[in-house]
């Protein structure tokens, strides 16, 4: 086992004695190594927590300032203590060194003349080696536990929990952008400055970082903050990193391999002329059932799409629904999740906890293939530009009902009705389509619509006049407003996700 100054002092065979008073905290500090030296400044060769042994051959006994400077340099280097061997260069420990150690609160030990420094070195080395074997054994036990969890399909967060508990701290996986992919306990960011120190000082700050490239999980790192001994935590992290990387790489591969099959599912769901039997077959190919509750999650990765965004989203959903299939289409991410009778609220809670401030909607549950199609239509309408956090939308709304009833012919009719506005905006870089959408969403109330669009009321009035002329309708007429609303719903149902 490792050893502290207190334990070293308790070893009768070494006959060490304390010369200066010291706090319990200093005496309980672990000794990293023993460093015999006769240099005036040995600090370039120290890493901290060493027991420095010296006979003081480099200084005169009466040079008080030199002794203080020597002790001060060792204090800055973070040594565990100083052992002084009297009877060779100095018959007694210089008083100036004692006073300096008292002032700086450095534990000062007296080493008898007949006790060779090498005996102390061997004693500490044996304790460190024994401690290392114990740490390796614990790391092996952790690896076995992680392998068992992976074979049983445990969530990634559960693996990180096992790592965190072993190192008495917390653990996370970060992607190339520094975003948290998964963590235990759940947290959405890690202190970058502390992590950088963890990369440069080998974990002495309590933070550690290990790249996961060894198993193909490129651009991801396993990070941790530990209250355990740095060396013990490093061994555990190194042992865990390979298994965590294997599991993460499997999840990344699963996501990419399902992408093409999920694209076929999306095409079938959004083409309202596709027979139900075709949708059922497409779902089964991806490993999804067509007759169990399905939650639909639709996300817009704003403001930017990061390397680990889709994985983070899927892992957050998998905390509640174990079967998740995802696909990226255009700017959006679509997830279909199964595994609970009605996990919609639980999925939303997980997303609010793991991915706050994101444009994500949750809808469902859908209980068969046709309902999945309708729920997806509702989710697409529920994802709006100024959304500030994940939200749940109604499983069925006017959009899904109208789209399912009208089929492809109705979609073409809706788009044809809006075509003059679409052409105008495309030709003149206009804002007529978003203006009409906002006006309808605000229940045809000009003041609210102008505020939402961040334009003056006169600007809104001018745009609405242009809309009326191009569509040849009267926007003061309730029936024609309803026609515009239905046209948008039909048009949206026919667009690719």
Question: 411 and 385, same structural domain?
Answer: no
* Residue 108 domain-assigned (yes or no): yes
User: Of 111-120, 129-138, 412-421, which range is least confident?
Assistant: 129-138
For residue 395, the model assigns a pLDDT of 64
Question: 427 and 370, same structural domain?
Answer: no
The CA distance from 166 to 145, in Å, is 11
Q: Domain end: 395, 427, 460, which one?
A: 395
* Residue 332 domain-assigned (yes or no): yes
Question: 479 and 377, same structural domain?
Answer: no
Print the domain residue range for 459. 401-494
CA distances from 22 to 19, 105, 414 (A): 9, 6, 84
Q: 134: pLDDT confidence band, cut at 50, 70 and 90?
A: low
Q: Which of 219, 217, 199, 218 has the alpha carbon at shortest distance from 208?
A: 199
Q: Which residues contact 471 (CB under 8 A, 6 or more apart)?
A: 417, 418, 420, 421, 484
Q: Which residues contact 423 (CB under 8 A, 6 or more apart)?
A: none
On the CB side of 217, CA atoms within 13 Å amount to 27
The CA distance from 497 to 491, in Å, is 12
Is pLDDT at 109 greater than 90 in this prediction?
yes
Q: Which of 83, 125, 128, 114 has the alpha carbon at shortest distance from 101?
A: 83
> How many CB atoms are closer than 10 A to CB 357?
12
Strands (DSSP E) contained in 367-405 are: 391-392
For residue 197, the model assigns a pLDDT of 61
Question: 203 and 243, same structural domain?
Answer: yes
| Tokens 């075509």 -> residue | 419
Q: Which of 314, 317, 138, 146 has the alpha carbon at shortest distance from 244?
A: 146
Is pLDDT at 200 greater than 70 in this prediction?
no
The CA distance from 378 to 391, in Å, is 12
Question: 111 and 13, same structural domain?
Answer: yes
Domains: count for the chain? 4
DSSP 51: E
- Cα 42 from chain centre: 41
Residues facing residue 52 across a β-bridge: 35, 82
Question: 328 and 239, same structural domain?
Answer: no
Q: Domain end: 346, 364, 395, which one?
A: 395
Is pLDDT at 114 greater than 70 in this prediction?
yes
> Are 32 and 49 in contact, with CB atoms under 8 Å apart?
yes
* Residue 275 domain-assigned (yes or no): yes
User: Of 71-75, 79-83, 185-189, 439-443, which range is least confident?
Assistant: 185-189
What's the whole-number mean pLDDT along residues 126-133?
73
The CA distance from 308 to 306, in Å, is 6
For residue 411, the model assigns a pLDDT of 67
| Tokens 């309980």 -> residue | 28
Q: Which of 356, 391, 361 has the alpha carbon at shortest distance from 186?
A: 356
Structure tokens of 153? 């399909």
Structure tokens of 236? 């555990």
* Residue 337 domain-assigned (yes or no): yes
The CA distance from 231 to 251, in Å, is 30
Is pLDDT at 216 greater than 70 in this prediction?
no
For residue 497, the model assigns a pLDDT of 47
CA distances from 270 to 17, 225, 483 (A): 82, 46, 22
Question: 298 and 362, same structural domain?
Answer: yes
Structure tokens of 396? 């069925």
What's the whole-number mean pLDDT along residues 139-146?
83
Question: 177 and 65, same structural domain?
Answer: no
Question: End-to-end distance of the chain based on CA atoms, in angstroms?
Answer: 60
| Average confidence score pLDDT of the chain | 83
For residue 406, the model assigns a pLDDT of 55
Is pLDDT at 245 greater than 60 in this prediction?
yes
Question: 50 and 82, same structural domain?
Answer: yes
* Residue 136 domain-assigned (yes or no): no
Identify the CATH number of the domain in which residue 54 sits: 3.40.1390.20
Alpha-carbon torsion (322, 320, 176, 329), positive or negative: positive
Give one DSSP letter per residue of 208-221, joined into a string: EEEE-GGGT-TT-E
> How many CB atoms are closer than 10 A to CB 152?
8
Question: 388 and 275, same structural domain?
Answer: yes
Strands (DSSP E) contained in 301-401 are: 323-329, 332-338, 359-366, 391-392
Helix axes 432-441, 457-471, angle to 10 degrees: 110
Is pLDDT at 75 greater than 90 in this prediction?
yes
The CA distance from 424 to 419, in Å, is 8
User: Of 187-201, 290-304, 367-381, 425-439, which range is least confident?
Assistant: 187-201
> How many CB atoms are closer than 10 A to CB 447?
10
Is pLDDT at 404 greater than 70 in this prediction?
no
* Residue 434 domain-assigned (yes or no): yes
What's the whole-number mean pLDDT along residues 28-55?
91
Question: 391 and 302, same structural domain?
Answer: yes
Identify the CATH number of the domain in which residue 328 sits: 3.30.70.2730
Question: 420 and 387, same structural domain?
Answer: no
* Residue 131 domain-assigned (yes or no): no
> Are 402 and 377 in contact, with CB atoms under 8 Å apart?
no
**Which pTM does this prediction carry?**
0.52
Identify the CATH number of the domain in which residue 472 sits: 1.10.10.2840
Is pLDDT at 494 greater than 60 in this prediction?
no
For residue 77, the model assigns a pLDDT of 93
427-471 pLDDT per residue, tens: 988 899 999 999 988 988 999 999 989 999 999 999 999 999 998
Q: Domain end: 328, 363, 395, which one?
A: 395
Identify the CATH number of the domain in which residue 177 sits: 3.30.450
What's the whole-number mean pLDDT along residues 71-88?
92
* Residue 140 domain-assigned (yes or no): no
| Tokens 């015999």 -> residue | 36
> What does the angle CA 325 – CA 327 – CA 333 come to, to the nearest 5 degrees?
110
Q: 234: pLDDT confidence band, cut at 50, 70 and 90?
A: confident
């Amino acid at each position: 086992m490792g050893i502290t100054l207190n334990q070293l002092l308790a070893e009768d065979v070494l006959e060490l004695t304390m010369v200066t008073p010291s706090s319990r905290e200093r005496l309980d500090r672990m000794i990293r190594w023993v460093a015999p030296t006769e240099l005036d400044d040995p600090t370039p060769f120290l890493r901290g927590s060493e027991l420095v042994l010296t006979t003081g051959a480099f200084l005169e006994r009466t040079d008080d300032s030199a002794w203080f400077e020597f002790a001060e340099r060792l204090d800055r280097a973070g040594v565990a203590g100083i052992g002084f061997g009297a009877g060779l260069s100095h018959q007694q420990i210089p008083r100036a060194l004692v006073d300096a150690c008292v002032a700086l609160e450095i534990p000062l030990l007296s080493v008898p003349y007949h006790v060779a420094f090498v005996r102390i070195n061997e004693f500490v080395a044996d304790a460190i080696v024994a401690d290392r074997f114990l740490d390796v054994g614990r790391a092996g036990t952790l690896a076995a536990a992680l392998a068992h969890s992976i074979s049983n399909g445990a969530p990634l967060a559960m693996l990180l929990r096992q790592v965190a508990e072993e190192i008495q701290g917390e653990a996370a996986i970060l992607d190339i952008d520094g975003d948290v992919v998964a963590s235990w306990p759940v947290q959405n960011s890690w202190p970058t400055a502390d992590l950088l120190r963890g990369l440069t000082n080998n974990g002495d700050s309590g933070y550690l970082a290990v790249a996961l490239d060894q198993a193909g999980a490129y651009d991801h790192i396993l990070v941790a903050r530990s209250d355990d001994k740095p060396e013990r935590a490093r061994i555990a992290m190194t042992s865990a990193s390979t298994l965590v990387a294997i599991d993460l790489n499997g999840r990344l591969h699963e996501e990419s391999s399902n992408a093409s099959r999920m694209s076929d599912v999306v095409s079938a769901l959004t083409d309202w002329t596709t027979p139900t039997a075709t949708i059922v077959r497409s779902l089964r190919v991806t490993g999804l059932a067509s007759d169990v509750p399905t939650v639909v999650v639709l996300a817009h990765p704003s403001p930017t799409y990061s390397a680990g965004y889709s994985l983070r989203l899927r892992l957050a959903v998998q905390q509640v629904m174990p079967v998740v299939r995802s696909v990226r289409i255009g700017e959006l991410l679509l997830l279909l999740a199964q595994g609970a009778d009605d996990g919609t609220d639980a999925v939303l809670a997980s997303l609010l906890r793991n991915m706050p401030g994101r444009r994500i909607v949750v809808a469902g549950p859908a209980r068969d293939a046709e309902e999945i199609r309708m729920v997806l239509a509702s989710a697409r309408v529920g994802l709006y530009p100024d959304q500030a956090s994940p939200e749940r939308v109604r499983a069925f709304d006017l959009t899904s009902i109208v789209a399912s009833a009208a089929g492809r012919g109705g979609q073409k009719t809706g788009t044809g009705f809006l075509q003059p506005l679409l052409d105008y905006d495309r030709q003149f870089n206009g804002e007529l389509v978003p203006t009409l959408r906002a006006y309808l969403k605000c229940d045809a109330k000009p003041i609210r619509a102008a505020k939402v669009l961040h334009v003056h009321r006169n600007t809104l009035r001018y745009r609405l006049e242009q809309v009326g002329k191009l569509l040849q309708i009267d926007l003061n007429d309730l029936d024609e407003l309803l026609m515009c609303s239905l046209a948008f719903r039909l048009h949206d149902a026919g667009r690719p996700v």
